[in-house]
Structure 1
Amino acid sequence: MNKKILVTGGTGFIGSRLVHKLAATADDIHVLVRKNSDLVSLKDILDRITLVYGDVTNRHSLDSAMNGMELVYHSAGLTYMGDKRNPLLQAINVDGARNVLEAALEAGVRRVVHVSSITAVGICDGKKPLDESSPWNFDRINLEYARTKHQSELAVASAIKKGLDCVIVNPAYVFGAGDINFNAGRLIKDIYNRKIPFYPLGGVCVIDVEIVAETIIAAMEKGKTGERYIIGGDNVSYKELMETISSVAGVPKVVFPLPFWMAKVLKSILDMIKTRNGISKLFNLSMYRIASENLFYDSSKAARELGMRHESHLNSIRSAFDWYRERDML
């Protein structure tokens, strides 16, 4: 029997790929959007989905959206890694998640998958990858985004105690085709345009958006209530990641390592002379501080319990680069 499914955040990078996969099934797919939402990422499947107008920050608007829904994928969220405080992070990532969970409980939704982040897992000490049981320690870096993703998972735990069936997924650093807002894709674009002359000394876990979307669906089908699943792939240093991007893009390698203490000096000089000299806007101290840590994760639980597949990060970089180049977006 066809299921009635609601997706929040369906116009975003991960959410839109999730909606595309769900729309290819026989299920009845509804996507929560705002009146002013940009629907370009869904334009080729609008005839196969139902748009429902509402906003996760408006609790009342969610009541009608949840009516009759069996399953809910909550992928709405604000990703902001900058060094300026953004009050929308609390409103969308924490209060919005709480609104969705409460509305799902009231509507009698059978199951919710909450799309979180690896920042809600933590930071490595050394290079040993973290798993789902690692205690959250991202508060040692002053990053509001990480705090709100952690808080949203606490809201999930509270909703489960009230009787909601909910599973958490934690995607890592997501690349791939369809990243129209240049989330991780900004790194590809700026290396291609020679705007990144140095690399940070940390590392990151890279995963393709198609695998993320597949695994989110698997979490709905096979995930255990109250469990979290890290959706990640290759753990690579930024040096290695940038070498991969340079190779795929056909541009010279980024060869200069820049420790965080030196980045602070360079940033203050650039601010003083009021120029960026064509340096990527990714170069802010908040993001560079994070990139100087090792964000390595063990995804074996998702592979074992959800059947998550693995592929080289090279494939994901190549897929994203080709997608951008075909659309003259670089």
Structure 2
Amino acid sequence: MILVTGGTGLVGSHLLYKLVSNDASIRAIYRRAHKLESVKKVFAYYTDEVETLFNKIEWIESNINDIPSLELAFTNITRVYHCAAFISFEPNKYKELRKINIKGTANIVNLSISNNIEKLCYISSIAAIGHEPHQDTLITEKTEWNPEADNSVYAITKYGAEMEVWRGTQEGLDAIIVNPGIILGPGFWNNGGSGSLFKQIHKGLKYYPKGTSAYIDVWDVVDIMFSLMTSDIKNERYILIAENLPFKTFQDKVAKALHVNPPKKVATSFLLAIAWRLDWLSSALFGKRRKLSKQMVNSISSKTVFDNSKLKRDLDFNFTPIDVSITKVSNYYLEDIKKLK
């Protein structure tokens, strides 16, 4: 039986759809019952047999820091896809990020070892990969993490989680780590991920940052995870990106697919420096949630280029063009907002 953590998220819900479509025996963890509707919503994009497929999954209420319920979840499990994570770039969320991303992953690793799990797949992020001093140098799986750099709290905790997985491999656990870029997929328009980017662009953005990032289709992520888990490959990590694109190019493409005007003004370093300080002040004075941090500004203002050649070589994988992904996700978004009118 396969265990999936984070099954109610973007990657987890798409992974569950793939697994049930392949008649796998699956158990999935959920924290809140209302989140299960997110899974059904994703299934509905791809099939009319939503309830039939959904009911093939054995759901168990738990979280990755609840050891007693986790121990029950691991009963008769042979393989684990660990997709659960807390995604936030707010500096004041550091303790919560550590608890979920690092401590929670340590719990999954420990139970995988004690239950003789055949293989673990951990979904990390390109945020947990080091950066090259020269912006045109390709970042690979071997690029070293610099703990002295001004890393975001999210990046620090995802890197810490990876260390727990590598620790597990030293104790006999076979594992795979995947480091996807920004994952493009439908259904999660309000959760701060790529879906919210589509929503913001549709509503209208005035500014675009001058940096770059890397993108990948959610189905590519799921297919790669599945292929790696069913292969003989073990104790390796892979950068999962289809294309490196400037934020302006990405936003222009999404705006075109959504039939709206793209942002016209560049968010200069000076403007962003003022913005993150005002954001900090607003949080300090009025308790508002942080929307922009110094580290986030540095990230969206920087050029980084990631190398996907290791994955291409080892799996002979052809990535979905980002134009195709943008068109698909945009169409799903437009369909969803029509239903709300």
TM-score, shorter chain, exceeding 0.5 = yes
2:31, 2:63 within 8 Å by CA — same for their partners in 1? Answer: yes
Note the C-alpha offset of 1:128. Answer: 2.6
2:63, 2:70 within 8 Å by CA — same for their partners in 1? Answer: yes
Match status 1:80 vs 2:88: yes
Cα distance change, pair 272–5 in 1 and its aligned pair in 2 (3 A): closer
2:90, 2:153 within 8 Å by CA — same for their partners in 1? Answer: no
Q: Deviations over 1:134-153 (max 9, x none)?
A: 10137523411000000111
Q: Deviations over 1:167-206 (max 9, x none)?
A: 1111111112233435112222111111x21111110011
In structure 2, C-alpha distance between the alignment counterparts of 1:107 and 1:37, rounded to whole Å: 30
Q: Secondary structure at the match of 1:55?
A: coil
Q: Deviations over 1:232-258 (max 9, x none)?
A: 111001111111112112222222112
In structure 1, C-alpha distance between the alignment counterparts of 2:279 and 2:152, rounded to whole Å: 23
1:114, 1:168 within 8 Å by CA — same for their partners in 2? Answer: yes
TM-score by length of 1: 0.90
In structure 2, C-alpha distance between the alignment counterparts of 1:218 and 1:273, rounded to whole Å: 46
Q: Name which of 247, 250, 254 aligns with 1:245.
A: 254
Cα distance change, pair 160–269 in 1 and its aligned pair in 2 (3 A): closer
Which stretch of structure 1 is more off in the superposition, 219-228 or 133-142? 133-142
Q: Which has the higher helix share?
A: 2
1:78, 1:89 within 8 Å by CA — same for their partners in 2? Answer: yes
TM-score by length of 2: 0.87
In structure 1, C-alpha distance between the alignment counterparts of 2:271 and 2:207, rounded to whole Å: 11
Alignment correspondent of 1:93: 101
Cα distance change, pair 28–267 in 1 and its aligned pair in 2 (3 A): closer
1:83, 1:287 within 8 Å by CA — same for their partners in 2? Answer: no
2:276, 2:297 within 8 Å by CA — same for their partners in 1? Answer: no
Q: What is the one-letter code of the residue matched to 2:31? A: R
Alignment correspondent of 1:128: 137
Alignment correspondent of 2:127: 119
Q: Name which of 186, 196, 202 aligns with 1:186.
A: 196
Over the aligned positions, Cα root-mean-square deviation in angstroms equals 2.3
Note the C-alpha offset of 1:299. Answer: 1.0
Alignment correspondent of 1:39: 36
Q: Secondary structure at the match of 1:230?
A: strand
Q: Name which of 241, 245, 261 aligns with 2:270.
A: 261
Q: Secondary structure at the match of 1:174?
A: strand
Q: Secondary structure at the match of 2:201?
A: helix
Q: What is the one-letter code of the residue matched to 1:303? A: K
Which stretch of structure 1 is more off in the superposition, 37-46 or 128-137? 37-46
Q: What is the one-letter code of the residue matched to 2:116? A: G
Cα distance change, pair 267–95 in 1 and its aligned pair in 2 (3 A): closer
